[in-house]
Amino acid sequence: MSRIKPEQVKRIALVGTGVIGGGWALHFLARGLDVLAYDPHPDAERRFTHMRDYAWPSLEKLGLAPGASPQRIHFVARLEEAVAEAPVIQENSPEALQSKIEVLARIDAATKPEAVVLSSTSGLRMTDMQVKCEHPERTVVGHPFNPPYLIPLVEVVGGERTAPEAVDWAVEFYRAFGKRPVKLDSEVPGFIATRLQEALWREMLHMVNAGEATVEQIDEAITSGPGLRWAITGPGMNYHLAGGERGMAHVLEQFGPSLKWPWTRLEAPELTPELRDKLIRGCEAESAGRSIPDMIKARDAYLIGILRLLRAPPP
C-alpha cells in the first residue's frame, strides 16, 4: 500500500465543523490546505462562516502559510463525497461512543485503504471506536485543544488494531502542518492533558460547592499564578526549578509527606442545581457584561501574544 508522505498532503476532509471541527478547518486553511467539509447540521456553513470571520484576523497576525485562504473550504452534502478521495480525514462528530463507532465505520467504508482516519475525540479510546471499521489499522486519535486554530497541542494515540506506522504518520502530518503532537505510549482514557485539566476542574467544583472560593477567585488564582508558569514549563519542570540546586530531589524530600494531606478531593462532587447555579452566576459575574464572542477575541489576542513570545529565543 502506497501512502502519501505527510508533508505532501494538499487537502483534508473534515467530518463535523462545530467548535472543534471548525477550529480544525481554520487551522488547516491557515496552513495552506484545501478543506472538504461535511456537517449534517442545517446551519453548519453559516456557523463556520461566523467562526471564520472572528478567528481569521488572529491567524493572519500569527502568520499564514503561502497560498492560505479562508475561501479554500468547500461544504458537501454527503459524508461519502467529502472523504472519498481525501488522503487524510479529521473526524469531529459528537462525543458519544456509539455515534463515533457509526461515523468512523462510514468514513472507513468510503475512503481509500491508504487514507488515514483521525478522530478528535476528547476521551474515548480508539480501540472502542474502531470496532466496525474494515481497516482499523489506519484509525488514529488526534485530540486537539480548543481553539484548535491556535493551541499547538494534539495528542496522538492508536487503538489495539491500529498499525504503529499509521500513528507515526499522524504525528508527522500534524508536525508538518504546524502542530505540536504528543505521541502517547498507551490509551489512557482522557489522554494526558484532559486528565490533568479534569483534576483541576473537580477541585474547583468542590471549592465552589463548599463556598470556599468563587469562580472569579479561582480563575484569578490560576491566571495570575501557576498559569503563567505553565505556559513556559509544565508541572514537572516547574517543581524541578523550584527545588533549587538539587531540583526535584529537594522538592520530594520537602513536600513528599504532604502528598497524604487532605489538600485535594479528586472524587467529583454531585452536580446539584445549587452548584450549577453557583457556577453559572460566577461566570456571569466574571464576564461583567462582556459577550462570549468578545471574550473569545480577547482570549485569542492574548494567545497570539503568548505564542509569539514562546517562539522567540529566551533573553
DSSP codes, 63-117: ---TT--TT-EEE-S-HHHHHTT-SEEEE---S-HHHHHHHHHHHHHHS-TT-EE
| Number of Cβ within a 10 Å radius of residue 186 | 6
Given a cut of 90, is residue 292 above it in pLDDT?
Answer: no
Q: In what order do the strands lie in the sheet with 88-91?
A: 73-75, 34-38, 11-15, 88-91, 116-119, 139-144, 153-158, 180-183
What is the enclosing helix (H) or strand (E) of 296? Answer: helix 292-311
Cα 196 to chain centroid, rounded: 13
Given a cut of 80, is residue 264 above it in pLDDT?
Answer: no
Tell me the pLDDT of the chain averaged across its residues: 93
Q: How confident is the model at residue 256, as a pLDDT?
A: 73
Given a cut of 80, is residue 3 above it in pLDDT?
Answer: yes
Cis amide prior to 147 (ω within 30 degrees): yes
Q: How confident is the model at residue 254, as a pLDDT?
A: 79
| Number of Cβ within a 10 Å radius of residue 136 | 23
* Residue located via cell numbers 488514529: 140
263 pLDDT tier (thresholds 50, 70, 90):
low
Q: How confident is the model at residue 236, as a pLDDT?
A: 87
Domains of the chain: 6-183 (3.40.50.720), 193-311 (1.10.1040.10)
Given a cut of 70, is residue 262 above it in pLDDT?
Answer: no
The span from the CA of 197 to the CA of 228, in Å, is 15
Residue pLDDT, tens place only, 198-240: 999 999 999 999 999 999 999 999 999 999 888 888 888 888 8
The span from the CA of 262 to the CA of 281, in Å, is 28
Q: Decide: residue 86, CB within 10 A, 0-12 exposed, 13-18 middle, 19+ buried.
A: buried
Q: What is the pTM of this model?
A: 0.89
Across residues 30-59, what is the average pLDDT?
A: 96
Taken as a whole, the chain contains a residue count of 315
First vs last C-alpha separation in the chain: 48
What is the enclosing helix (H) or strand (E) of 181? Answer: strand 180-183
Residue pLDDT, tens place only, 162-195: 999 999 999 999 999 999 999 999 999 999 999 9
Cell numbers for 168, please give them.
507515526
What are the C-alpha distances in Å from 107 to residues 70, 85, 110, 139, 231?
A: 25, 11, 5, 10, 36
Across residues 112-132, what is the average pLDDT?
A: 96
Type of residue numbered 196: L
Given a cut of 90, is residue 140 above it in pLDDT?
Answer: yes
| Number of Cβ within a 10 Å radius of residue 66 | 6
Cell numbers for 263, please give them.
489538600
Across residues 248-264, what is the average pLDDT?
A: 74
Q: Are 238 and 244 in contact (CB under 8 A)?
A: no
Type of residue numbered 99: S
Q: Looking at residue 268, what DSSP letter applies?
A: P
What is the enclosing helix (H) or strand (E) of 241? Answer: helix 235-242
